[in-house]
């Protein structure tokens, strides 16, 4: 009996060691069997002269801003132009079927100097446009918040605007120069902001990612903190379900990923001239891939970049 007990004890110890080894291996394994980076971007759609905004609505339909228009795009790559705009900038889904689309309007600071004729459109899936916000000089990126309000960056200034659910517009922050892409942390306590320029006239590109802490009301709760400086002109942002931030390096033609907790930075993909907006697939599109636009004139490619993980849930 003594020997049997010793054997049982030995088996328990071995089993415990095996379980610990397996647990350690699982903990250290790449999440979602992520591909080895950098990955080769795939051309999803190659028909536009230039493109920038893209988003999904709440029904999983993809919309792209390109060639001064809004396009509804199917998973097979077919595209239908549903509306015309002055400029095809950042987009965000709102509600079940609509999107918001940023538009510089008739003038922009880059060509005409200071102005206030920018527009954010609300666009139905069939292309009906209504004005969601005006009085913003050059709206670029749009981020919808949980309460139905939305933030809008103006990358020709230092302003991020808040548009309330009833359409009232106010300056929300002036803490980050030339803000472009916006993204929320998983817990909603931090707003990540991409800085695209260091100055205008002449244009000097910048590569800083900032984190603005938010208070209980969702307003800035302190000064911004520099997360990372990488690339040449940061444009769109996206966050995966693990909380890591993906950055479109417009000047460098690359996508980077940074873990805000550890500051670990990784090159995800390259060879994407003037990559702009980023969005994770939804609906019938690949949910473990980023879709990305290009602002390159004459080469408005839409890329699909497999990253092996799904995106964070977005507010609509």
Is residue 6 domain-resident?
A: no
H or E segment and range at residue 11: helix 2-28
pLDDT tops 60 at residue 129 = yes
Domain range for 301: 39-306
pLDDT at res. 6? 43
Question: 167: which 2 tokens?
Answer: 């359409």
Is residue 19 domain-resident?
A: no
CA distances from 53 to 34, 66, 251, 287, 315 (A): 26, 7, 17, 18, 17
Note the pLDDT tens digit of each residue in 183-204: 999 999 999 999 999 999 899 9
pLDDT tops 50 at residue 136 = yes
> How buried is residue 55: exposed, middle or buried, by Cβ count under 10 Å (0-12/13-18/19+)?
buried
How far is Cα 235 from Cα 115, in angstroms, rounded to an integer?
Answer: 22
Percent of the chain residues topping a pLDDT of 70 = 89
Collapsing DSSP states into helix, strand and coil, what is residue 172? strand
pLDDT tops 60 at residue 100 = yes
pLDDT tops 90 at residue 313 = yes
Domain tally for the chain?
1
- Per-residue pLDDT band for 4 (boundaries 50, 70, 90) equals very low
Is residue 53 domain-resident?
A: yes
H or E segment and range at residue 14: helix 2-28
Is residue 255 domain-resident?
A: yes
Q: DSSP character for 31?
A: G
Is residue 313 domain-resident?
A: no
pLDDT at res. 28? 39
* Of the candidates 42, 50, 152, the residue with the CA atom closest to the CA atom of residue 94: 152
Is residue 115 domain-resident?
A: yes
Residues 6+ away with beta carbon under 8 Å from 209:
192, 193, 194, 195, 226, 227, 228, 229, 230, 234, 237, 245, 247, 258
pLDDT tops 50 at residue 29 = no
How far is Cα 295 from Cα 278, in angstroms, rounded to an integer?
Answer: 12
pLDDT at res. 176? 98
Is residue 77 domain-resident?
A: yes
Residues 20/307/54/168 CA torsion (nearest 10 deg) = 30
The model's pTM: 0.89
pLDDT at res. 111? 87
pLDDT at res. 10? 44
Contact of 43 with 299, CB cutoff 8 Å: no
What mean pLDDT, rounded, does the chain reach? 91
Question: Rounded mean pLDDT of 104-122?
Answer: 93
Is residue 314 domain-resident?
A: no
Which CATH number fits the domain that encloses residue 61? 2.120.10.30
How far is Cα 250 from Cα 288, in angstroms, rounded to an integer?
Answer: 22
Note the pLDDT tens digit of each residue in 32-71: 566 899 999 999 999 999 999 999 999 999 999 999 999 9
């Amino acid at each position: 009996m003594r020997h049997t007990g010793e054997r049982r004890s030995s088996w328990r110890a071995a089993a415990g060691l095996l379980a610990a080894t397996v647990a350690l291996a699982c903990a250290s394994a790449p999440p979602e069997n992520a591909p080895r980076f950098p990955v080769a971007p795939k051309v999803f759609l190659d028909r536009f002269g230039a493109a920038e905004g893209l988003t999904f609505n709440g029904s999983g339909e993809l919309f792209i801003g390109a060639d001064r228009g809004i396009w509804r795009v199917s998973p097979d790559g077919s595209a239908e132009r549903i509306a015309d705009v002055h400029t095809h900038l950042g987009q965000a889904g709102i509600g079940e079927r609509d999107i918001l689309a940023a538009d510089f309007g008739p003038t922009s600071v880059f060509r005409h100097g200071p102005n206030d004729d920018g527009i954010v459109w609300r666009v139905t899936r069939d292309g009906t446009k209504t004005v969601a916000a005006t009085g913003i000089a050059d709206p670029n990126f749009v981020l919808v918040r949980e309460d139905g309000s939305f933030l809008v960056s103006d990358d020709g200034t230092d302003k991020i605007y808040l548009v309330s659910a009833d359409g009232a517009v106010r300056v929300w922050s002036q803490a980050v120069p030339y803000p472009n892409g916006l993204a929320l942390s998983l817990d909603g306590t931090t707003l990540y902001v991409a800085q695209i320029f260091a100055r205008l006239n002449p244009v000097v590109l910048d590569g800083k990612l900032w984190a603005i802490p938010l208070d209980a009301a969702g307003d800035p709760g302190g000064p911004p903190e520099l997360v990372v400086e990488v690339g040449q002109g940061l444009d769109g942002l996206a966050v995966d379900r693990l909380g890591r931030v993906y950055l479109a390096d417009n000047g460098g033609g690359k996508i980077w990923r940074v873990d805000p907790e550890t500051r670990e930075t990784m090159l995800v993909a390259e060879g994407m001239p003037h990559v702009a907006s980023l969005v994770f697939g939804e609906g019938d599109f690949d949910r473990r891939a980023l879709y990305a636009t290009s602002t390159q004139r004459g080469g408005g490619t839409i890329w699909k970049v497999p990253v092996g993980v799904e995106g964070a849930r977005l507010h609509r």
